[in-house]
Amino acid sequence: MDQSPLRERITDQFSYPGERADIWRAFDLLLETDAFLNLGYSEWYQPHVVGSSQRRLVTEVGARLASYLPATDGVRLLDVGCGRGGPAIHLADQFGFRVTGLDLVPYNITRATENARRKHVKPEFVVGDSTQLPFTTDSFTACTAIDALVYLPDRNSVFAAVADVLELAGVFVLSDLMMQSDMSETERAFVDSFAATWDMPSVGTVEQYNAALDDAGFELEAVEDITRHSVGQFRKWTTLYLQLLRTPVRSLLVRLLRAYDLDPSAITEQVRAAHHALPFLQHVIIVAKTRFRRHLHKLREYRGLASAFERSTDDWNDLRDGLQSRVIDEFESLVVPEYLVGVAIQVTTASDSVPCRREYVVGDTHGALPADVLEEPELATWLQYPCNLGERSIETGDGAEHE
């Protein structure tokens, strides 16, 4: 998909007075769209269309994030697709996160900056594209994306970009509008037409999100369907709006919208498309963690290195020294502050004509390796003997251990 027209359409949708911005300006009569643009969250007894449902969704996202972190105060958090800053400000205010908000649309960032100026918490806001994040590796401990990724044509590249700027074991919480799996062609056509009308290029299924997260090196922690707290309630409002259009109240409604300088036909087109698609849409929160992606990547390289040593030699010392110096050279680039993970090299050699399997471990953690490192299936076989840098553990083919 050509991204420039999409970019223009999204900018148009979220910038006053874009053609598609009218729907958001209409919502502004009921909701806090000066600061929040998400789908909101409500318990059954709470009114969804008035007041702070959108702030409540941010509280839900923040609470899930907090439950995966030892602390939140001062923790660096990136909010991608931050909109008009309400979520970033609320996350900073309520949880103490040090937030950077990023959004494609300059108008949103201007409003976010103004909104923050009025508060004592001061998130930073930048204009940018979520697929090309202007931050260095390991800049953040946590990331949120609240109902924003559905506007991106390519989820894979945004997940890869987020994985890059998150530090090891960083937590990513996203909420988004998704579609049900296994829809009929007619149902799919309703969703497609809704997506086109709202300029949402990638309404995906939960399975597609999960697969894309996995590809980007995230480990899935939780998936939660919150449809009944938001979009599950929307149809009564779209029904009411469309029914009113069929009654004498129509002219009053049209006049009212025009009085607010809103285009009734543009709004009606979007409401109607949403009405038909809503039964097949879901609102989902996903929690994922970046784990050991660099280690795994590096370990694959080491595995290649190890295979280079799979040869017979009678001179174990030479082999060990050569191996150690090469591994230690490489090791420098593997250092990760929290978990300084060692490298296990498996060497097949022959000593006294007896083929041996040797586990050579170079590496250290600043203490014991965390249990979850050891549980990583790919690491488990490689990091059996955490020990200090330079120490080694050698297992011979007969099961004996030598130093």
Which helix (DSSP H) or strand (DSSP E) does residue 53 occupy?
helix 53-67
Q: How far is the CB of 113 from ligand SAM (least distance, A)?
A: 14
Indicate which single residue of 21, 23, 25, 36 sits in contact with ligand SAM (rule: CB under 6 A).
Answer: 36
Least distance in angstroms from the C-beta of 104 to ligand SAM: 4
d(CA 109, CA 116): 10
C-beta of 60 vs 376, nearer to ligand SAM = 60
Helices (H) and strands (E) in the chain, counts: 15, 11
Write the interaction track for ligand SAM spanning residues 67-106; mark x where CB under 6 A is met and - where it is not: -------------xxxx--xx--------------xxxx-
Contact window for ligand SAM (CB under 6 A) among 134-142, 148-156, 196-204, 388-396 = 148-156
Q: Nearest residue to ligand SAM, using CB?
A: 83
How big is the chain by its Cα radius of gyration, in Å?
Answer: 27
**Nearer of residues 176 and 359 to ligand SAM, judged by Cβ:** 176
When binding is defined by CB under 6 A, the residue of 14, 125, 209, 280 that contacts ligand SAM is: 14
Pairwise CA distance, residues 290 & 389, whole Å: 25
Instruction: List 354's β-bridge partners, or say none.
Output: 351
Regarding 231 and contact with ligand SAM (CB under 6 A), the answer is no
270 touches ligand SAM (CB under 6 A): no
Give Cα separations from 201 to 7, 81, 212, 218, 271 (angstroms).
11, 15, 16, 23, 18
Which among 213, 195, 208, 203 has a CA at the least distance from the CA of 158?
213
**Cα 329 from Cα 362, distance rounded (Å):** 11
What is the C-alpha separation between 231 and 279, in angstroms, rounded? 9
Does 152 engage in binding with ligand SAM (CB under 6 A)?
yes
* Contact call for residue 37 and ligand SAM (CB under 6 A): yes
Task: Based on the shown chain and the rule CB under 6 A, indicate whether residue 10 belongs to the binding site for ligand SAM.
Answer: yes
Which of 151/234 has CB closer to ligand SAM?
Answer: 151
Strand partners, 124: 100
The alpha helices in 68-205, defined as continuous H runs, are 86-95, 106-117, 155-165, 185-197
- State whether the Cα torsion 195-198-199-200 is positive or negative: negative
Helices (H), 173-225: 185-197, 206-215
Which among 30-38, 201-209, 253-261, 389-397 is the span making contact with ligand SAM, rule CB under 6 A? Answer: 30-38
The whole-angstrom separation of Cα 37 and Cα 54 is: 7
Retrieve residue 307's tokens: 């295979």
# binding residues, ligand SAM (CB under 6 A): 23
Contact predicate 244/204, CB 8 Å? no
Based on the shown chain and the rule CB under 6 A, indicate whether residue 148 belongs to the binding site for ligand SAM: yes
Q: How far is the CB of 129 from ligand SAM (least distance, A)?
A: 5
Terminal C-alpha separation, the chain: 59
Closer CB to ligand SAM, residue 10 or residue 271? 10
Q: Parallel, antiparallel, or unpaired for β 140-146 and 76-80?
A: parallel
Q: What is the DSSP string of 302-341?
A: HHHHHHHT-S--S-HHHHHHHHHHHHHHHHGGG--SS---
Quick one: which segment of 34-42, 281-289, 339-347, 356-364 binds ligand SAM (CB under 6 A)?
34-42
Per-residue CA distances from 112 to 17, 33, 55, 283, 400 (Å): 17, 11, 14, 24, 64
Q: Does residue number 274 form part of the binding site for ligand SAM (CB under 6 A)? A: no
Closer to ligand SAM by CB, 60 or 103: give it.
103
Are 95 and 71 spatial neighbours (Cβ–Cβ below 8 Å)?
no
The residue whose two tokens read 């991608």 is 80
Rule CB under 6 A: say whether 172 interacts with ligand SAM.
no
Kindly state whether residue 382 participates in binding ligand SAM, applying the rule CB under 6 A: no
Q: How far is the CB of 137 from ligand SAM (least distance, A)?
A: 19
Q: How far is the CB of 143 from ligand SAM (least distance, A)?
A: 12
146 near ligand SAM, judged by CB under 6 A? yes
In angstroms, what is the minimal distance from the CB of 240 to ligand SAM?
22
Nearer to ligand SAM, 52 or 130 (CB): 130
Among 41, 125, 151, 360, which residue sits at the site for ligand SAM (rule: CB under 6 A)?
Answer: 151
Query: Is there binding between residue 319 and ligand SAM (CB under 6 A)?
Result: no
| Minimum distance from residue 182 beta carbon to ligand SAM (Å) | 26
Amino acid (one-letter) located at 110: T
Q: Which residues bind ligand SAM (CB under 6 A)?
A: 10, 14, 36-38, 80-83, 86-87, 102-105, 108, 129-130, 146-148, 151-152
